[in-house]
Chains A and B, each alone.
Chain A
């Protein structure tokens, strides 16, 4: 046969500039402290937020511990050293006085920003049925549908507000899943975190709507260090979604967040992320360094925590949403789509720690690499000695587009109980020239062909997302891979 795949690599691999639609800057007056990190800066942040003494003490403890730590170097990503003294640790849009009491008091420019991003903060229209907490640089600017949630006893507010209004709850759970000394970036976050979302679902309550936080970095040279804490009491249920974007800037910006989830007996938390931080340009200039610690504790029997993430943005992604399966019969899930195009690098995966009996975990990871992107799955499944009847199913698939990108898989498995059942499947495939030609010969463009193949590849993860966001995620994936075929 003369028709073997002898095509020159040029046309499938031509990379053009991708369009990052959230890359605008909002021109708003901000209160920004000078760059640099010291105990004084931490005291200043704490004072600005009018925090209780115990919280300041906790921050300082974290800071002092951080000073003794070294930035981790085991991950499969490469970047120039971060100058922690060049980062601004607090920036907030200026408001007339104190925090806005209602949406009417929120700066219209901010509302406009979120409208532009497709996140209406006015309680109506498209996202009706989803409560949103909007975090702009270092502070939460608005939280919608609070009244409706309060009726059923759900607390959903900014972290700062929770510290003021529900200090006993914050104090009880803060740092119990991710301790202040957990890792380099978590310790840094514990010292300087500025805001984030707090969510408390009391016993027996199923949240009547999706809760979501929308993170936006706006100011230049500013790090974003938000902290999210979600507690679901006995029998409670909540589905939570976070989204993130940032303007296009030539400098790299640091985002080091911490998310802690606590599920008590029979509680269920479903946490979905659509991460679209600015990924840098096609040559790797600029972009967000995303170093995030996310962990959930299934403390109660038959509790369940499910992580779903669609990671399309950031120059560097370093995150491992994990589950500690402490309660008997508890369930942990991790569904992930990670895309690296152009010069993006991702090292992401999960940890499932089985402690209780008959605990079950599922890992489905889909990595897509295009351009010069490097995509690493790193995961750990650990079955402790007392975890009788523990089960894990892991599936790690990689899809390559072009021949200058890379996919890497590091699955760690540690089993200390002979009754455990473990399954691991992995595959690597490449979108071939002959596949794309087959689509083209049927009238479908190469770009659309890649979209269809990628969406088919990610289907099992997308179906875990809340419906409205599954559609968004699909579109986002299309945008992220724009120009990955020529």
Chain B
């Protein structure tokens, strides 16, 4: 097997002194889509933010290799420039900074890092037009300040739109389905599916099986109390839908199914 894209080993992390991740092991190959499910408070979102390098989350032990490099040693902006993208569960509003200006700065920061020429305004606008179609994003939203006054659905579309522009090699989707009605979910999932490629791995964090009907993962992991207690194929999602998480919390299976 070639080198995995992401290799998480025995990852422990805490927030404000509380240990949330208690030894996560997870490996993603290039082009694979992995779903991480689990009950509330199991550490799913913490895992997503630790990978993105959010301040305030301290890693107490364990390693994360990304393309074979120590991901945890990189500052958050470097992780982003190296191709790690986090679609936020709650995208923050940035008043006074237009979406298009923000994105141009982001895309050019990434391109510069990769030794590519930066886009000028005209090139960038053409790119925006093309990518906005992917998630059916109203062009008006492109000109407005980042996320300001966007509806919940618009914010999530904007996240996927950003992902399309930044072309990450590892996309982490943090509860992208939360707060979306079924139509918005279809649009967002449709955008994500179009971005699936052999060069792009995805880590889809979700509480509900529903999203996985639209974004069908190659592998699924169940996180309980900061550990992966069960891993399997996509059919595992249906089993979880039926049984809930309760049985896993009460008596974790002795042996996790291997992938």
Using CB atoms and an 8 Å cutoff, list the residues of chain A in contact with chain B.
1-3, 5-8, 11, 429, 432-435, 437-446, 448, 452-453, 455-457, 459
Pick the residue among B46, B56, B77, B145 that contacts A8 (CB under 8 A). B56
Pick the residue among B56, B85, B90, B102 that contacts A452 (CB under 8 A). B102
Min CB gap A442→B, angstroms: 4
Rounded to whole angstroms, the CA-CA distance of A7 and B58 in the bound complex is 10
Check A2–B80 contact: CB distance below 8 A. no
B122 lies within 8 A of chain A by Cβ: no
Segment from B47-55, B230-238, B249-257 that makes contact with A: B47-55
Min CB gap B241→A, angstroms: 22
Pick the residue among B41, B77, B106, B109 that contacts A2 (CB under 8 A). B41
Chain B hits for A7, CB < 8 A: 54-56
Check B75–A456 contact: CB distance below 8 A. no
Are A441 and B105 also in contact (CB < 8 A) when A456-B97, A457-B96 are? no
Chain B hits for A440, CB < 8 A: 53, 75-77, 80
Check B55–A441 contact: CB distance below 8 A. no
Check A444–B106 contact: CB distance below 8 A. yes
Min CB gap B4→A, angstroms: 22
The main secondary structure of chain B at its interface with chain A is: mixed
Task: Name A1's closest neighbour in chain B (CB-CB).
Answer: B45
Chain A hits for B109, CB < 8 A: 442-445, 448
Check B162–A442 contact: CB distance below 8 A. yes
Task: Name B44's closest neighbour in chain A (CB-CB).
Answer: A2
Using CB atoms and an 8 Å cutoff, list the residues of chain B in contact with chain A.
15-16, 20, 41, 43, 45-46, 49, 52-56, 75-77, 80-81, 85-86, 88-92, 94-98, 101-103, 105-106, 109-110, 113, 145-146, 162, 166
Task: Give 14 A-B pairs besides A2-B43, A456-B98 with Cβ atoms closer than 8 angstroms.
Answer: A2-B15, A3-B49, A3-B90, A6-B56, A7-B56, A8-B56, A433-B55, A441-B85, A442-B109, A452-B97, A453-B94, A453-B96, A456-B95, A456-B97
Task: Name B101's closest neighbour in chain A (CB-CB).
Answer: A452
Are A453 and B97 also in contact (CB < 8 A) when A3-B45, A442-B106 are? yes
Residue of B16, B85, B94 ringed by the most chain A CB atoms within 10 A:
B94
The main secondary structure of chain A at its interface with chain B is: helix
Pick the residue among A5, A435, A445 that contacts B94 (CB under 8 A). A435
Rounded to whole angstroms, the CA-CA distance of A445 and B113 in the bound complex is 12
Chain B hits for A441, CB < 8 A: 52-54, 76-77, 80, 85-86, 88
Rounded to whole angstroms, the CA-CA distance of A373 and B54 in the bound complex is 27
Chain B hits for A434, CB < 8 A: 92
Residue of A8, A435, A437, A455 ringed by the most chain B CB atoms within 10 A:
A437
Residue of B53, B55, B88, B146 ringed by the most chain A CB atoms within 10 A:
B55
Task: Name A446's closest neighbour in chain B (CB-CB).
Answer: B77
Rounded to whole angstroms, the CA-CA distance of A60 and B109 in the bound complex is 61
12 inter-chain pairs at a CB distance below 8 angstroms, sorted by A residue, are A6-B56, A432-B92, A439-B94, A439-B102, A441-B52, A441-B76, A441-B77, A441-B85, A443-B110, A448-B109, A456-B95, A456-B97
Check A3–B89 contact: CB distance below 8 A. yes
Rounded to whole angstroms, the CA-CA distance of A468 and B150 in the bound complex is 35
Chain B hits for A3, CB < 8 A: 45-46, 49, 54, 89-90
Check B96–A437 contact: CB distance below 8 A. no
Pick the residue among B76, B102, B166 that contacts A437 (CB under 8 A). B76
Check A443–B113 contact: CB distance below 8 A. yes
Check A443–B80 contact: CB distance below 8 A. yes
Rounded to whole angstroms, the CA-CA distance of A446 and B145 in the bound complex is 18
Min CB gap B205→A, angstroms: 11
Rounded to whole angstroms, the CA-CA distance of A443 and B90 in the bound complex is 18
Check B46–A443 contact: CB distance below 8 A. no
Rounded to whole angstroms, the CA-CA distance of A11 and B80 in the bound complex is 19
Chain B hits for A455, CB < 8 A: 96
Pick the residue among B20, B80, B96 that contacts A456 (CB under 8 A). B96
Min CB gap B46→A, angstroms: 5
Chain A hits for B52, CB < 8 A: 441
Min CB gap A481→B, angstroms: 15
Chain B hits for A437, CB < 8 A: 54-55, 76
Are A442 and B92 also in contact (CB < 8 A) when A3-B46, A8-B56 are? no
Task: Name B40's closest neighbour in chain A (CB-CB).
Answer: A1
Min CB gap A336→B, angstroms: 16
Check B92–A443 contact: CB distance below 8 A. no
Min CB gap A257→B, angstroms: 32
Chain A hits for B146, CB < 8 A: 438
Check A459–B96 contact: CB distance below 8 A. yes
Pick the residue among A5, A11, A443, A452 that contacts B166 (CB under 8 A). A443
Task: Name B49's closest neighbour in chain A (CB-CB).
Answer: A3
Check B45–A2 contact: CB distance below 8 A. yes
Chain B hits for A459, CB < 8 A: 96
Rounded to whole angstroms, the CA-CA distance of A75 and B190 in the bound complex is 60
Min CB gap B62→A, angstroms: 17
Chain A hits for B103, CB < 8 A: 442
Chain A hits for B105, CB < 8 A: 444, 448, 452
**Shortest 8 CB-CB contacts between residues of A and residues of B:** A456-B96, A7-B56, A442-B106, A443-B109, A443-B80, A440-B76, A456-B97, A440-B77
Task: Name A457's closest neighbour in chain B (CB-CB).
Answer: B96
Rounded to whole angstroms, the CA-CA distance of A448 and B105 in the bound complex is 9
Rounded to whole angstroms, the CA-CA distance of A457 and B97 in the bound complex is 8
Min CB gap B79→A, angstroms: 8
Chain A hits for B162, CB < 8 A: 442
Check B16–A6 contact: CB distance below 8 A. yes
Check B77–A445 contact: CB distance below 8 A. yes
Chain B hits for A453, CB < 8 A: 94, 96-97
Chain A hits for B80, CB < 8 A: 440-443
Rounded to whole angstroms, the CA-CA distance of A278 and B96 in the bound complex is 29
Chain B hits for A452, CB < 8 A: 97, 101-102, 105
Task: Name A454's closest neighbour in chain B (CB-CB).
Answer: B96
Residue of A8, A439, A446 ringed by the most chain B CB atoms within 10 A:
A439
Min CB gap A419→B, angstroms: 35
Task: Name A10's closest neighbour in chain B (CB-CB).
Answer: B55
Min CB gap B68→A, angstroms: 21
Chain A hits for B94, CB < 8 A: 435, 438-439, 453, 456
Chain B hits for A445, CB < 8 A: 77, 109
Rounded to whole angstroms, the CA-CA distance of A440 and B94 in the bound complex is 13
Rounded to whole angstroms, the CA-CA distance of A452 and B54 in the bound complex is 20
Rounded to whole angstroms, the CA-CA distance of A35 and B10 in the bound complex is 71
